[in-house]
Every structure is written in C-alpha cells, then in structure tokens.
Chains A and B, each alone.
Chain A
Amino acid sequence: MLLAVQHLQTWFRHRDQPIRAVDGVSFEIERGETFCLVGESGSGKSITALSIMRLLPAYSVERLSGDIRFQAADESPRDLLSLSESEMRQVRGGRIAMIFQEPMSSLNPVFTIGEQILEAVRLHFPELSEQEAWERVMQALRDVQLPDPDTRVHSYPHQLSGGQRQRVMIAMAMACEPDLLIADEPTTALDVTVQREILRLMLALQQRTGMAILFITHDFGVVSEIADRVGVMQRGKLVESGPTQQIIQRPEHPYTRQLIAALPENLARREAHDVKPESAQPLIRLSRLEIHFPVRKGLFRRVVDQVRAVDGVDLEITRGEILALVGESGSGKTTLGRGILRLTEPTAGAVAFDDTDITRLDRSDLRRFRRNMQIIFQDPISSLNPRLSIAAILTEPMKMHGIGADRDERLSIARELLKQVQMDEESLWRYPHEFSGGQRQRIGIARALSLDPAFIVCDEITSALDVSVQAEILKMLLELRRQRGLTLLFITHNIGVVEYVSDRTAVMYQGRIVEQGRTEDIVNRPQHDYTRKLIAAVPRIDFQSPA
C-alpha cells in the first residue's frame, strides 16, 4: 500500500456554515497503479489532491481531518496530516510530485526550463555535484521526449508550445523520482493529438519507474485509456470506486450511471440523422474566404507578415443541416465562424447568405442583415453583460430590429423564449451573476433566438460545461432546430459531440478545410492523413470488451 486515505474531510470557512468540499473520502493506491478520480466541477476532486499535498491556504480551511497514510519506498508509513511543515516539504516534490492543468502558469516565466528543473533536483538531492545534477536534468528532458533537449533546456516557458510545456512539467516532477505523481487534469487544456502523446508518455514512465499515479479528470475517455481503478466523486463524497472496466460497464451507483449515460457517445441516436434536407440550395456559401491578421513591427507599425488564420475556405451549408467544424486550437475554426458573421472582417473571398454577398454590405445594411445570423459563445461567464437584466439582454436586440410592437409584447416574446430554453420566466428580472454556467448558456441561446435567425454559429458552446449539462443543452438544441428549422455551424473539438449532433462534418487544419463529408464517413472512414490522426487520438471508451 503506497497511499491510504481514510475518511478525509476538508471544510472551508463560509459565513455561518462551512462548505464541505471533501466530506469523508477514503481510497487506497497501490505501488505502480493508476487511480483516477472522476467527477463534475465542484465535486471536490482537486481539493482532495491539494489536501493530500497539504497545499491549501490555512486561513480558508476550517477543518482538515482524517488519516493520509503514505509509505515511501524504504520507510515506515507516515500520516501526512501530522507531519511538520518542514517534513512535509521533503515529501512534496521528493516523494509526491504534482502537475497541474495549465502548463503556462505553473512554470515561472523569468527562468529557463533547465534552471527550474535544476532547482528542484538540487533541493531534493543536495549531495549531487553540479555536473551530476545537470546530467539528471538532461536525462529527465530526454525521458519526456522533448525534441532537441540540448537547446530547449535553455528556452523560456513562453518559447514552448502547450504540449512541450506539459512535458517539461512532467520532467520536473519525474526528475526527483517520486513514488506518487498527482496529475490534476494535465491534458484538459491540450489538443487531443497532444493529449494522446502525453498520456502515452505518462504510462511509459510509470512502467519504467514503477511510480503510482493519482489522475484527476472529468473525461471518461481519458479514464478508460489509462486508469487501473476509478473513483467517482459527487459533492465531496466518493460515491463509487472499483476497477475501470467494472465502473464503466456495470456502474452500480445511480450518479455514476447518470454520468455515463450523459456521455455524447451514449445519448440516443437521432433517427433522422441522415435525412437529406429537401432543398439542395445551400443557405451559406463561402468561396475562397481568407482572413489574415497583419503582424506589425517597428516604429511605424509596418506590416511585416500575415497570419493566415483562414486561408482560402470553400464551404457550403445546406438549409436545415448542422455542419460540425472540427479542428485543434489554432486551426482557425473560431476565426472562420466570426468571419462568416463579419465580426472579424474577411480579407478576401465571399460569404453568400442565400443570394446576398455579406462581405459587400455596407454598415447600415449589415446591421439590418444581422438578424438573420446569430452566434452563441463558448464562455458562459463573459457572454452576458453583467450590468443588464435578462429582460434587457433579450429585448434590446428585438427593439433594434423592430420585433414586437411595444415593450409588453417584446417581454412576452422573451418569456416564450425562456420557456423554450427551459428556464423559469421569473429569470427575466434577474441578473447574469445569479445563474449557473449551464443556465447562462441557455440564456445565450435564447438571446440568439430572440431575432428569429435562420443561421446560428455555435462556437464551442458546451466545452465549458459538465457532461450532464452538456447533454441537456445538446438535446435542447436539437429540439429547437427541429421546431424552427435552424441551420447551425457547430464549432467544436469534441468528436463525441460531433457524432451526436451533426449531419455533416468539415475538418479544419492550418486555416484550410482538409476534408468534409457526412459525419459517419468522416468519423468511421477518414480519408485525409490529418483527419485519421485526429480521429485516432480521440480517447475511446470501451463499452463492449469483457471485464
């Protein structure tokens, strides 16, 4: 037994009642195994990890109790909660290492990566000579397969890509040969292809060194790729734990069942998936669309180069269909979505809506035209104006476009919209900060619908949400499109969502559409090399194979 957590309780101070972030969690981790903690946001999985590391600020913790028994390689077991702060420092980094979600903010921007790893090495192995310590740093960087480690060791964090930075973080954690590696959503901020490489790397390192991994994630795909055993957390409690296959195929607890049923892969397939829309006339037609951002330098801000975010895209979206646009970060998919609405000015090419070329409209015509096409955003926090009530948010665009004769009529339309997105009509008189992320996203959808548009761009609308909320929003969106005959451009990086929601899929890579076609064909029989790589990298949950 490497780590045995018994009845861990972490309570935070809050007005009169403490918040029970972790409330009586018990689990064990064996040497060399991977234990996954899964749960939705706010379930207390990160707090569990921070409690084990004792990294929580003392002033906000009201209670930290239980028993965390940790037995390092050749020592007797110790209770981490009763260690002194200086003993704990020996354990942190030395025996238990931790890596975080955001690799940019967890590296210090003013030191080279070599210096940062060296510091950790010297702290935990003070007996090593300069030469030996440096050799260890280089070995760690080679172990994590950082390309060209001899020059990269002198780079600063900002000179590396997200995946490379996460490799450096792992190298730093591994350099001290810990017995336990705690990884808190280490791949959530990364693209799927990079995620796959990092996961493989962690498994390879684990096999070589025999360390245990406590892996925290919200993604069941990742769980089924790497975990030996899984613990499911809900509101501070561990509701179920057991071997991975057993949890995924035969979940016992109702919450686990509900979570697994909410995965896009498990949502009921729509029968009308490949019903061809009756009119072959495309609603949106992009021809040779280019959006470039100039790179300016020097005193006179001369244009020295162009970033070709969208580089000659031809695309047609048929009336009534849902086209999914997939691609990794930086592929230009968000820019394309905004370019179609002319929120970002296209550099060249044409965007035709029915027969109108939007790129040729002048300012006031464009403003009137905007009611035909709307957008829903990714971030539910910043997409609603915090100073306006929901009533004002919904009715102001209607007023501008002359929908509804007077205020009362517009308010009743707004009430109707809220009902359609399954919100209480009382919500009209409240402000955005009073709603949860999922509710805000519903309001965002209601705002887009308030102008009764024919076409909506959905820009990663579910990627900030938990799976169960995501499932509800997706179902609702499909229902709305059925009722209103909407045409949607659905931008996402989640292949599971694409499969569930879309009729056709276009794959974007470096500003170009590399492949497009029916979603089934793209997902099951990808033609282009990049699509193949992308689809293969998606972590798949194995529901069928025997336990």
Chain B
Amino acid sequence: MSDRSNAGQSYWRRILGQTFLRWGARLGLAWVAVLALVGVFAPFLASSFPLLLSQQGQLSSPVLEYLQPVDALFLIGFLTLLLLMPWRFSLGRKLLLFLLTLGGGALLVYNTLSPPKLVIYEQYRVAEAQGAFDWVIHAPVPYSPKDYQRDRGDTGLEAPLSQDRRTHWFGTEQNGADVLSRMIHASRIALGIGFVATGISMVIGVIIGGLMGYFSGVVDILGMRLVEIFEAVPTLFLLLTFVAFFGRSLYIMMVIIGITSWPGFARYVRAEFLRLRKQDFVQAAEAAGLPLGSILFRHMLPNGMGPVLVAASFGVASAILAEATLSFLGLGLVDDPSWGEMLNQAVQSSRFNWWMAAFPGGAIFFTVFAYNLIGESLRDAIDPYLSKSN
C-alpha cells in the first residue's frame, strides 16, 4: 500500500521512524543516550581534579593533565560520531570511517598522552583549603571514583546527604569513595561491554549464518553442527574458568561473551538467507549477472538484517547482565568500579546500606529494560503482520 506521507524514504528510515514512534522505544533511547553522554564525559562530570583554576594569575586545568588515554579515546569517538551524523553517506561507509578514526585516534592517544603515574587525589583539595588558588571551578561531582578522601578521616558508609560539610548525593561506600562518581564511571563499562560483545557476536553470526544460508548443502550441515556446539557451551562457567586462568580483564570478558553468543545471530541470518534466496529480486540480480558480493551484501543482507537487529538489542541487554553477574560474584574487574561490583559491596557490609544497593541495582535494571524496550519496538516495526495503517 503506497503512502504519500513517506514517499521517497528508504526502508530503514521508515522502520526507525516507526520504531521511535512508540513511547517505550523513545524512553529506552533517551535513557541509553543519557548513559552514553555520561559515559563519554565521565572525567569532567566526576573528578577530584578541578576543571579550571587560577594560581597567581596562571590558568591551568588539572583535569586535562590527568586525562587518561581511554578517556581521550572516548571523546574522539564521540566527536567523530557527531561530525559524521549530518553527512549523506551510506550507513556502511559511516561505520567504516568511524572505525578508522577510532583506530587512528587510539594510536595517537596512547603515544602522546602520558598523565602523571602518581595520582594524589587530595592535593588540590588541600591546596585550595590553604588558599593557594585565586579561584577554582570544580566538576559537578567533585570526587574521583577511587578518591577515598583520606584527608578527611573516616568517611566510609555515609548515607546520602547525611553530612553538612560535604555533599555525597548517593552516599559513600565502605572505603569512603563517592557512590555517584563510581556509578558515572561504571556506565562506560556497562555500555562498552554491551556494544563490543554484541558487535563481535553479530559479525561472526552474520558471516557464518550468511554462508550457511546462501550455499546451503554441506556448508549448512557443518555450520549447524558448529552452532549447536557453541550453543551447548555455558557462557557463565566458561567466563569463570577464563577468569581463574587468565586473571580479570574487561577485554577477555567482552571477547568471551561475544564468541559464545553468536549462534543466535547465525540462526536468524541463515533462516533469512534461505528465504531470500528464493525471492524473485535475488533471482533477478543473479540473472542480471551481478557479482556474488553485490548479491550477498547489497541485495540479501539488508533485507535479512531486521531480525538480527532485534536480537542485537536484546543481546546488548544480556551482555550487560552477564558482566554484572560476574562482578557481583566478585570475579569482575579488580579496582575499576562496575555496577555489579558495587552491588557486591552492598552485600558484603555487615548492615544493609540501602544506597549502595538501590542506585547500582536501579541503573542495571533501567539499562536492561531500556534495551528490551527498543528491541520490542523494533520487532513490532519490522513485523509486517503487526504494522498498522493507522
């Protein structure tokens, strides 16, 4: 049924438009966008180092001096995305450009930036109290995630806003670090692990599934056995084993979650390709003598991506949960904060400190919920039987 209102729009514009017509998806997207912004600008939102200060007329920015290469890389990625957005490229080319700048940025950043090895969080706080600066602009949350505020004596397990002298919106944990600051920095891990792990499994799944679906026959039989083998592997226990052998690393976690969750994608892509192979427009492409690459990637893949994207948004949610589970069990990262690890801290304390459970738990809940909402709406938008004319 042709419709005047969406004349001249490509399929994906239409689908995304329909997806984000639903309020659930809008809420979900809004939450993910807030998390992404918070994650990118974490060092400027929550840091013990002043954003800007003046010492005897001399301007300096301690935050920039102490900027870690990772922080800079996040900023570069964000800026590239922002710059690429308005350009009229195809989606694939944009993705390629983004990955290239990210790679180049990583090389540049790790070779040039060398922040001081020794970090003393309280030095600026102490100096300011002694009146060494003319004026100081602090970050909105003036505590770094690992700033245990030793200069202030015992600050552990303070309830939110219980102290008059210093504000901790979300309270502090048992070592005395600010909970809000830790949560802000942990949002990066949550987003990063979700996207990277799902990205890895999507790439593997699409390639293997596509080959199975297009060539079928022997390739299909072998591929399906491989899928079944990987489906039989319990991800959590494999993760536990790897942590035991190789120590705790975020990257190993991403890779393992990625290479154990591709079979779902492969199944979807295979089914789509088997269906598409019989479609007349694929036959027409073949009859026109188009090369295999064009048939596979231009004519078949975009038509089969719908279910994959739906699965991906659920996949991101489950990857975040897997990391949280692992951290909760005490097998996550050693020192860096993550939401799961913060929940673990809440449990270990002798008495129940509600702020240490409620905030990270709520963050995990809302993030997983947001991705599920997006996935749900995407599925409804793609399903032709549910698409409504009104």
Binding site for B on A (CB under 8 A): 13-15, 338, 341, 343, 366-371, 373-375, 377-379, 382-389, 396-397, 400-401, 429-431, 433-436, 444, 447, 451
14 A-B pairs, CB-CB below 8 angstroms? A341-B287, A343-B283, A368-B289, A370-B289, A377-B283, A382-B279, A383-B284, A387-B10, A387-B12, A430-B7, A433-B1, A433-B11, A434-B2, A447-B284
Q: Which residues of A contact B3 (CB under 8 A)?
A: 434
Q: Which residues of chain B are within 8 angstroms of A370 by Cβ–Cβ distance?
A: 287-289
The answer to whether B389 and A397 touch across the interface, beta carbons within 8 angstroms, is no
- Residues from chain A with a CB closer than 8 A to the CB of B303 are 385-387
Are A435 and B2 in contact (CB-based, < 8 A)?
yes
Residues of B contacting A377 in the complex (Cβ-Cβ under 8 angstroms): 280, 283-284
Q: A375-B284, A386-B303, A429-B8 are in contact. Are A367 and B390 (CB under 8 A)?
A: no
Chain B residues closer than 8 Å to A374, beta-carbon distance: 287-288
**In the complex, residue of chain B having the shortest beta-carbon distance to the beta carbon of A369:** B289
Give the docked Cα–Cα distance between A385 and B287 (Å).
14
Bound-state Cα–Cα, A370 to B283, Å: 12
Which residues 123-162 in B have Cβ within 8 Å of A in the complex? Answer: none
Given A14-B389, A379-B280, A382-B281, A389 and B290 touching (CB < 8 A)?
no
Contacts of B390 in A (CB 8 A): 13-15
Q: How far is the CB of A445 from chain B (nearest CB, A)?
A: 12
CB-CB < 8 A to B8: which residues of A? 429-431, 434
Q: A382-B281, A386-B11, A430-B8 are in contact. Are A397 and B299 (CB under 8 A)?
A: no
For residue A378, which residues in chain B have a CB less than 8 angstroms away from its CB?
280
Additional 18 contacts, C-beta under 8 A, given A14-B390, A387-B303:
A14-B389, A338-B283, A369-B289, A374-B288, A375-B284, A377-B284, A389-B10, A396-B288, A397-B288, A397-B290, A400-B294, A429-B8, A431-B11, A434-B3, A434-B7, A435-B2, A447-B284, A451-B288
Could you tell me which residues of chain B, from 326 to 383, have a CB within 8 Å of some CB in chain A? none
Q: Shortest Cβ distance from A456 into chain B, in angstroms? A: 10
A431 CA / B303 CA spacing, docked (Å): 14
A375 to B7, CA, bound (A): 28
Task: Quote the shortest CB–CB distance from A485 to chain B (angstroms).
Answer: 20
Nearest 7 CB-CB pairs, A to B? A370-B289, A397-B288, A383-B280, A377-B280, A367-B289, A434-B2, A385-B281
Contacts of B294 in A (CB 8 A): 396, 400
A377 to B2 CA separation, bound complex (whole angstroms): 21
Within 8 A of A (CB), among B294-316: 294, 298-299, 302-303
A431–B287 touching, CB < 8 Å: no
- In the assembled complex, the Cα of A464 lies from the Cα of B302 at a distance in Å of 26
B286 at the interface (CB under 8 A from A): yes
- CB neighbours (8 Å) of B289 from chain A are 366-371, 397, 400-401
Provide the bound-state CA to CA distance between A396 and B290, in Å: 8
Most chain A beta-carbon neighbours within 10 Å: one of B7, B289, B302: B289
- Distance, CA A169 to CA B286, complexed state (A): 41
Among A13, A366, A377, max chain B CB count under 10 A is at A377
Asked whether B290 lies within 8 Å of A400 as measured between CB atoms, the reply is yes
CB proximity of B69 to chain A, nearest CB, Å: 40
Interchain nearest-CB distance for A330 vs B (Å): 17
Complex partner residue of A367 from B281, B284, B291, CB under 8 angstroms: B291
Query: Which chain B residue lies CB-closest to A386?
Result: B11
Given A375-B287, A430-B8, A431-B10: A384 and B389 within 8 A (CB)?
no
B56 within 8 A of A: no
* Bound-complex Cα distance A383 to B12 (A): 19
A473 to chain B, nearest CB (A): 16
Q: Is B58 in the interface zone, CB < 8 Å from A?
A: no
Complex alpha-carbon distance, A430 and B389, angstroms: 20
Complex interface: chain B residues within 8 A of A434 (CB): 2-3, 7-8
Would you give the shortest CB distance from A430 to chain B, in whole angstroms?
6
Q: Residue-by-residue, is B1-27 near A (CB-CB < 8 Å gives 1, otherwise 0)?
A: 111000111111000000000000000
